[in-house]
């Protein structure tokens, strides 16, 4: 009987010892993992955590520290597997810092391009710590990524209430308000963003967009210059600066900015590179350097045929690939005047008396010839205007020519253009003393003039 009692006592002590090891020794080992991780001894953590998991596969703490060690070694895929398992096992009552755990999970989901999962983690974090502005801000960023703008703004506004001095929050709100075409509200938020965060490239970029939209190009250029300091917005800022210089008719500066954008991108197929090339072509077009414009649009077309209206641009200027027309469009002022004089003398048989450069072209006064005189035996003069423009000529140009003919007592006018004439111009010139030379007539004239 005594032996039976002794046996029972021994068995009881064995069970007690087992539970003592499980509940007293195991926590001690988890504390060791935490200490090793804090010291940066990731190999020690991995070795010890694996040993624990081999005996206790559902030990959430061991999986947690194993995942954190993997993360410290930048083994993100392995870390995510372990931490997902922790989430499945549950962390309630475990020796796992929940806020730190969920922040880590959220960042891993973001890096793994799983924004919906990341949003869930931040919403849980907001419940755990509703006073933390950062969690609202991060949730707002994720809602923007999912194009859920109303939700994003709610969380940004809440983040702003909790921390009104966070420039990032004001920047995100300002950017969204700009896209919603609410310029006054956007400007307030963006200026706050810069006030609290001087190096906020995104805020400077969208403030520049606001100034550009308001045609305040000087202020826009300054804002875009500040945005250049931000790597994420440098290319877009260069392109916007190019467009601003185009609006200011500063072609050389515009081209310089756009060329720098293309060089910075490096990849010819990148959408921003196509965008920059397209607008460089528009810039050259505006200043009548059509051959250079075509060179840019050709490169865009080779990569993406339906980029903006590049197909129409190339079709519009198809005839401009003629060498003679290329000269007409791209000569400098002095060469252009000489070419126009040759067209008038060699191509038309007139004698030039005066010539000068005018906006987008030239003006010549010529005598039609000694054999053609009026009833008073005076030479008959003709006023000629040669235009280098992309758009069609409309009625007001014809009207202006007629008024100038009357003022200078000249009986005949000729308007020559590389583009063409709108129907209102054609109708207005009919039965009047102004003759219209469109692109086809210009080409014939050039072919007579240039061998």
Q: For residue 252, what are the CA distances in angstroms to 236, 246, 284, 287, 419?
A: 19, 9, 10, 10, 24
Within-domain flag for 259:
no
Within-domain flag for 48:
no
Within-domain flag for 311:
no
Within-domain flag for 217:
no
Task: Enter the DSSP assignment of 343.
Answer: I
Within-domain flag for 125:
no
Mean pLDDT score across all residues of the chain:
87
Average pLDDT over residues 291-318: 90
| Model pTM above 0.85 | no
Within-domain flag for 127:
no
Which strands, in side-by-side order, build the sheet including 412-417?
351-358, 361-367, 381-387, 412-417, 434-437
Q: Among 381, 384, 397, which Cα is nearest to 341's? A: 384
Rounded to whole angstroms, the Cα distance separating 112 from 77 reads 9
**CATH number, residue 387:** 3.40.1350.10
Q: How confident is the model at residue 3 (pLDDT cuts 50, 70, 90)?
A: low
SS3 164: coil
Q: Within 13 A of 350's CA, how many CA atoms are on the CB side?
A: 25
Q: Beta strand pairing status for 434-437 and 412-417? A: parallel
Within-domain flag for 394:
yes
Q: How confident is the model at residue 198 (pLDDT cuts 50, 70, 90)?
A: confident
In sequence order, which ranges of 228-289 are alpha helices (DSSP H)?
Answer: 234-247, 251-265, 271-286
The whole domain housing 351 covers: 331-449
In sign, the C-alpha dihedral spanning 285, 291, 297, 301 is positive
In sequence order, which ranges of 304-357 are alpha helices (DSSP H)?
Answer: 310-316, 323-330, 333-342
Query: What would the pLDDT profile of 203-255 be if each residue is shown by its tens digit?
Result: 999 999 999 999 999 999 999 999 999 999 999 999 999 999 999 999 999 99
Number of domains in the chain: 1
Q: For residue 135, what are the CA distances in angstroms to 93, 109, 242, 446?
A: 23, 15, 38, 70
Q: How confident is the model at residue 12 (pLDDT cuts 50, 70, 90)?
A: very low
Who's near 295: CB < 8 A, 6+ residues apart?
A: 281
């Amino acid at each position: 009987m005594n032996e039976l009692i002794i046996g029972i006592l021994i068995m009881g002590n064995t069970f007690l010892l087992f539970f003592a090891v499980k509940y007293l020794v195991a926590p001690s080992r988890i504390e060791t993992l935490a200490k090793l991780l804090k010291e940066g001894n990731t190999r020690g953590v991995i070795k010890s955590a694996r040993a624990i998991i081999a005996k206790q596969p559902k030990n959430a703490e061991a999986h947690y520290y194993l995942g954190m060690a993997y993360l410290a070694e930048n083994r993100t895929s392995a870390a995510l597997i372990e931490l997902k398992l922790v989430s499945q096992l549950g962390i309630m009552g475990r020796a796992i810092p929940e806020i730190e755990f969920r922040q880590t999970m959220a960042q891993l989901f973001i890096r793994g391009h799983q924004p919906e999962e990341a949003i869930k983690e931040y919403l849980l974090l907001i419940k755990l710590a509703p006073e933390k502005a950062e969690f609202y801000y991060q949730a707002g960023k994720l809602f923007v990524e999912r194009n859920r703008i109303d939700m994003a703004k709610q969380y940004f506004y809440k983040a702003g209430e909790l921390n009104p001095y966070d420039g990032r929050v004001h920047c995100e709100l300002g950017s969204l308000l700009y896209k919603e075409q609410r310029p006054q509200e956007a400007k307030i938020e963006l200026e706050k963003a810069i006030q609290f965060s001087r190096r906020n490239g995104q805020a400077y970029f969208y403030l520049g967009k606001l100034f550009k939209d308001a045609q305040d190009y000087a202020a826009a250029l300054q804002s875009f210059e500040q945005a250049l300091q931000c790597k994420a917005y440098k290319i877009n800022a260069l392109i916007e600066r190019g467009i601003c210089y185009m609006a200011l008719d500063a072609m050389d500066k515009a081209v310089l900015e756009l060329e720098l954008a293309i060089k910075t991108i490096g990849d010819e197929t990148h959408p921003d590179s196509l965008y920059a090339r397209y607008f460089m072509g528009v810039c050259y077009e505006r200043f009548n350097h059509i051959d250079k414009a075509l060179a840019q649009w050709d490169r865009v077309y080779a990569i993406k045929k339906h980029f903006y209206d590049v197909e129409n641009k190339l079709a519009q200027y198809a005839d401009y690939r003629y060498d003679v027309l290329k000269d007409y469009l791209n000569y400098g002022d002095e060469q252009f005047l000489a070419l126009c004089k040759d067209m008038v003398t060699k191509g038309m048989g007139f004698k030039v008396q005066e010539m000068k450069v005018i906006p987008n072209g030239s003006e010549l006064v010529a005598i039609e010839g000694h054999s053609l005189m009026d009833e008073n035996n005076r030479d008959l003069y003709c006023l000629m205007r040669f235009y280098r423009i992309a758009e069609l000529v409309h009625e007001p140009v014809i009207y202006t020519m007629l008024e100038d003919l009357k003022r200078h007592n000249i009986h005949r006018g000729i308007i020559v253009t590389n583009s063409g004439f709108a129907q209102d111009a054609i109708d207005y010139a009919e039965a009047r003393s102004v003759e219209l030379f469109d692109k086809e007539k210009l080409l014939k004239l050039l072919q007579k003039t240039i061998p």
